[in-house]
A = this chain, B = another copy of it.
Amino acid sequence: MKRNMTDLTSRQKIILSLIVHEHTRTAQPVASKTLIEDYGLQISSATVRNEMNTLTELGLIRQPHTSAGRVPTEEGYRFFVSNLVQQTALPIATRNTITHQFYQSRRGLDHWLPLAASVLANQSQAVSLVTAPHSEKIAFKHIELISTRGSQVLMVLVLVGGEIRQQILALDEVYSQESLSRMANQFNQDLENKSVRQIEALEASADPLTQQILAAILDQMHLTEELVTGELFLDGLSNVLSTPEFAATNQDHSPLRLLEERPMLNDLFSRTVLTEDIGGVQVLIGGEGTWQDLRDCAVILTRYGIQDQLSGMLGILGPMRMPYGHAISAVHFVADLLSDLITDTLID
């Protein structure tokens, strides 16, 4: 079933590449004549047709109907991406512009993540997805208790890795800001770098007030732990709204549904990228049998961040007919950029 490099002659590879390229450009079936005319091949259209026949038998391309040109199949795209695609690095000027946007007045993740999504969307002309980085292991870093009104207190919790969580606590009596700060300092000394387990062990043998706060801390840590990924940033919806692949022709089965269904999205993330080391880019073509809604789409995903410590995911979702070389390069580039930024500002 699975083809490898050696199954195809180099001429067949060239023809497959050209079909992919041309079909990406025009969204139309590609004719044998178009190929020799537009790309100046030194062979006749009949020869191309013969080769096309072979490729069709191999399941790499197909004809929408008897007398139409050829279109790459899912298999065909997979073969292309695995063996033939060549990454087309972003122009140096573009890279500089983008890098500059990220580094100007170092504003932190709040700024970088939407920017990453925006850059990806622009570069790929597809929908981009970026998740906030998430710690591999949840541990306490710092707590702050801020008196607000009456006995109500704002708890700000910083976890190792830099994730910040907040919660309003209703304490039993009113405490001054001084005593709240003292309490927070105590927690900061006692809990630094401690894991959920270790903190749970302390919970039992504490006075009621401490217990209440510990419970809140643990609550937030649990919530964070349960997340597969951090917050999700999207961009580039308008890039794909008008493409036929995303139009909701089939009743309400649009690939865009996926973006609103966190369970599905998490599933996608878990099954593909979470298993990979940082640095590898995964390309999913046509839903891979699992995601019906992605039948005509491709997803390019990768992980960024710091191996075994703090990582997020980013990638794009576009029509299967996509400029893979450019898209993969763009994903790589943005991932590396974010990884660098996070390494520079890691909170540990």
Are B346 and A148 closer than 8 Å at their CB atoms? Answer: yes
User: Does chain B have a CB within 8 A of A185?
Assistant: yes
User: Does chain B have a CB within 8 A of A212?
Assistant: no
Contact with B along A150-167 (1 / 0, CB 8 A): 001010101000101111
- Interface size bracket, A side: 35 or more
How far is A336 from B174 in the complex, measured between Cα atoms in Å? 29
Are A162 and B158 closer than 8 Å at their CB atoms? Answer: no
Residues of B within 8 A of A257 (CB): 238, 241
Closest to A162 in B: B154
Could you say which of B106, B158, B242, B346 contacts A156, with CB atoms under 8 Å apart? B158
Residues of B within 8 A of A141 (CB): 146
Closest to A253 in B: B242
A292-348 contacts to B (CB < 8 Å): 345-348
Give the shortest distance, in Å, between A222 (CB) and chain B (any CB). Answer: 11
How far is A51 from B177 in the complex, measured between Cα atoms in Å? 71
Give the shortest distance, in Å, between A57 (CB) and chain B (any CB). Answer: 38
Could you say which of B149, B154, B256, B348 contacts A237, with CB atoms under 8 Å apart? B256
Contact with B along A135-152 (1 / 0, CB 8 A): 000000110101011001
Closest to A249 in B: B242
How far is A156 from B259 in the complex, measured between Cα atoms in Å? 31
Are A254 and B242 closer than 8 Å at their CB atoms? Answer: yes
Residues of B within 8 A of A144 (CB): 142, 144, 156
Are A156 and B164 closer than 8 Å at their CB atoms? Answer: yes
Residues of B within 8 A of A223 (CB): 107
User: Does chain B have a CB within 8 A of A279?
Assistant: no
User: Does chain B have a CB within 8 A of A89?
Assistant: no
How far is A256 from B158 in the complex, measured between Cα atoms in Å? 36
Are A149 and B348 closer than 8 Å at their CB atoms? Answer: yes
User: Does chain B have a CB within 8 A of A181?
Assistant: yes
Give the shortest distance, in Å, between A143 (CB) and chain B (any CB). Answer: 9
Are A106 and B168 closer than 8 Å at their CB atoms? Answer: yes
A interface residues with partner B (beta carbon < 8 Å)? 106-108, 110, 141-142, 144, 146, 148-149, 152, 154, 156, 158, 162, 164-168, 177, 181, 185, 188, 223, 235-238, 241-242, 247-248, 251-252, 254, 256-257, 259-260, 345-348
A-B contact pairs, 30 of them (CB 8 A): A107-B167, A107-B223, A108-B167, A108-B168, A110-B166, A142-B144, A142-B146, A148-B348, A149-B347, A149-B348, A154-B158, A154-B162, A154-B347, A164-B164, A181-B185, A236-B260, A237-B237, A237-B256, A237-B259, A237-B260, A238-B257, A238-B260, A241-B248, A241-B252, A241-B254, A241-B256, A242-B251, A242-B252, A247-B247, A247-B248
A-B pairs, top 10 by smallest CB distance, nearest first, are A242-B248, A241-B248, A148-B347, A238-B257, A168-B345, A144-B144, A142-B146, A241-B254, A242-B252, A154-B347
Known: A146-B158, A156-B156. 19 other contacts (CB 8 A): A106-B168, A107-B167, A107-B223, A108-B166, A108-B167, A110-B166, A142-B144, A164-B164, A181-B185, A237-B256, A238-B257, A241-B248, A241-B252, A241-B254, A241-B256, A242-B248, A242-B254, A247-B247, A247-B248
